[in-house]
Amino acid sequence: KISLASKTTAELIVRNLHFSYEKGQEVIRGLNVTLSGEPIAIIGQNGAGKTTFVKLLKALLKPDSGEIVLNGERTSETTAAQLAGRIGLIFQNPNDQIFKHKVIDEVMFGPLNIGQSNEEALTNAKAMLKLVGLADKAEENPYDLSLAERKMVAMASILAMDTDIVIFDEPTMGQDVRGKANVKEIIHSLHEEGKLVICILHDMDFVAETFGRTIIFSNGGMLFDGPTREAFAQEEALRLARVEQPHITKIVQRLGYDRIVLKETELV
């Protein structure tokens, strides 16, 4: 089996990034990181600055100082329209994102906006609705769907833009076991297509089974950045970031083993 990580070409370089909503209260405190390759999970307690960080990546917020470089180009110098076609951000709350009265129109909106023809947009929208398991809901009003389904509509509408980078904020929240399995499959297939996937998560079981790389965020900075199997061995960082270990780790400890060594896999 060949590792597919090398297929990913999109790269975001973050240099000495600072951001505050209010003067004197820094929410992002001098971040340095290179985001590329395998799917990346960002974990850490509420208020740590994770959502702020991904909004900065998408240039929805302007840094106080520092820079973000997307494939060699500063995003501060890229127009919002160009960026829309390159970085997709799926919000935690789909109600922040959905505004059309028909599912298919919602999913076609982004593609049309970045210049796809009506036919292309329709084809893409249908394919993405199928991918998220909502092929039969195209004609419905998003607000007649469940919150979990609405999250999938929001996901489909971003994925339909076919951006190089896809950022998810809490995609598994509110999803049942089947929904989570679907999200996992989507993340892996985006990666296989060569896209860079970045994901904020609170579900540590999902992180452990889906992501090769994990960043532990706390207080506007990073406490750890590395392989997921090492992240869950960082007891001090996890404690500071108030992150629970995955159930598997707790079970292993309860059974009396010191630790588990996860087998290396190519993809996750």
State which of residues 50, 137, 191, 213 lies at the interface with ligand ADP (CB under 6 A): 50
Distance of closest approach, residue 170 Cβ to ligand ADP, in angstroms: 9
DSSP, collapsed to helix, strand or coil, labels residue 134 as coil
State which of residues 27, 41, 70, 215 lies at the interface with ligand ADP (CB under 6 A): 27
* Binding-site string for ligand ADP from residue 181 to residue 210, where x marks contact by CB under 6 A and - marks none: ------------------------------
| DSSP-assigned letters across all residues of 30-66 | EEEEEEESS-EEEE--TTSSHHHHHHHHTTSS--SEE
Alpha-carbon gap, residue 186 to 132, rounded angstroms = 8
State which of residues 2, 23, 46, 139 lies at the interface with ligand ADP (CB under 6 A): 46
- State both tokens at 225: 């950045």
Contact 84, 114 (CB under 8 A): yes
Interface with ligand ADP in residues 111-150 (CB under 6 A): none
Q: Does 49 bind ligand ADP (CB under 6 A)?
A: yes
Q: Does 171 bind ligand ADP (CB under 6 A)?
A: no
Phi, psi torsion values for 2, nearest 5 degrees:
-95, 140
- The residue (of 165 and 201) whose beta carbon lies closer to ligand ADP is 201
Stretch that binds ligand ADP, among 40-48, 190-198, 226-234, 248-256 (CB under 6 A): 40-48
- State both tokens at 173: 């929240």
Counting Cβ atoms within 10 Å, is residue 21 exposed (0-12), middle (13-18) or buried (19+)? exposed
State which of residues 14, 31, 48, 122 lies at the interface with ligand ADP (CB under 6 A): 48
| DSSP-assigned letters across all residues of 23-34 | TTEEEEEEEEEE
Residue ranges that bind ligand ADP, judged by CB under 6 A: 21, 27, 44, 46-52
